Amino acid sequence: MPVADYKTYCRMIDHALEKKFAYPAINVTSLTTANGVLKGLAESKCDGIIQVSTGGAAFASGLYVKDMPMGAISIAEHVHRMAERYPIYVALHTDHCLAKMLDHYVVPLIEETERRRAAGKPNLFNSHMFDGSDLPLDANLGIAVNLLERCHRNEIILEVEAGVVGGTEDGIKGGGGEKLYTTPEDMLQVYRRLSGVTGARYLLAATFGNVHGVYKPGQVKLKPSILKEGQEAVEAAYGREARFALVFHGGSGSALEEIREAVDYGVVKMNIDTDTQYAFTRPIVDHLMKNYEGVLKIDGDVGNKEKYDPRSYMKLGEAALAERVKQAAADLRGVGTTLFGSGL
């Protein structure tokens, strides 16, 4: 099936809200990692989201070019072609983009989609994230409203963030303290501002102690109840239809009970990067260490081409990443939930 179109992506979100499950949203940096995600989703019969960060996009364009939009476009075009061979829906998304990076990353990608639409082609990306968490909330939402209007015209869903995700990802360092927890007042303000763009769809990354990276048990204090309190405040003020479709950032390393509690409160998308990075790298390291004398030409020897051929270990990484995606689908109650062929 081709990459989900706008109507299908909206149905995916609504389906997850109704059935109380969430989609794995996996950061990729290459064709191989994108293929691993597709494999894991297909084997789980779970729709999902492939996303590209600013750093991942720059990497994908190569060390010589280092062009973020070009790298993201390259991965997206690959996924558009390959997704047709998988019996699931997949959406394409760009991850954290700060205000200072918008004109260098998200805006050029929206422009690319506008060119495609003018030529009668499908959208390149289904959604983009604007991370205005380093700004005061009013300034954050001022930029978000303008972006949402443009996204809505082009059938693109916008993800915004209120609060701060701690830790560091792709050089983007979060803050700490009280900003790690989005308040009900924050969520009410987000709804008031963004609902003014009539008919637009958006996702909210509300923070409840989330931290990028992975930590030992007990080091990160997640409070999923914050999501419940915020949703209840919005519903009380504006009705049940105002409840948010939420995003769980910093999901790697989270306890299963915390993941599922967050899903119960409206999380439809959980970002996973650190855990899938490790899953991909672990078998590659194992291969290189076990075949040390084969992958290196030691003391003038010729080595073993079958062992240092990148395909011999990259396919191991792809397979292991796919297994971690399958675990994520199970954790998020997404196994067997695909809309593909369902008639919904």
Element (H, E) at 186: helix 184-194
Q: Phi/psi at 283 (nearest 5 deg)?
A: -70, -25
| Candidate list 5, 14, 47, 95, residue with the active-site label | 95
* Residue 44: count of CB within 10 angstroms of its CB: 24
Q: Which amino acid is at 297?
A: K
Q: In the block, which residue shows the tokens 């001022």?
A: 142
Q: What is the dihedral of CA 267, 269, 273, 278, to 10 degrees?
A: 80
299 catalytic per annotation: no
The 3-state DSSP class for residue 208 equals strand
Cα separation values, 335 from 179, 223, 255, 325, 331, Å: 34, 25, 18, 11, 9
What backbone torsions phi and psi does residue 6 show, to the nearest 5 degrees?
A: -60, -45
What sign does the dihedral 199-194-128-328 (CA atoms) show? negative
Which two structure tokens, joined as six digits, stand for 25?
């949203």
Catalytic sites, residue numbers? 95
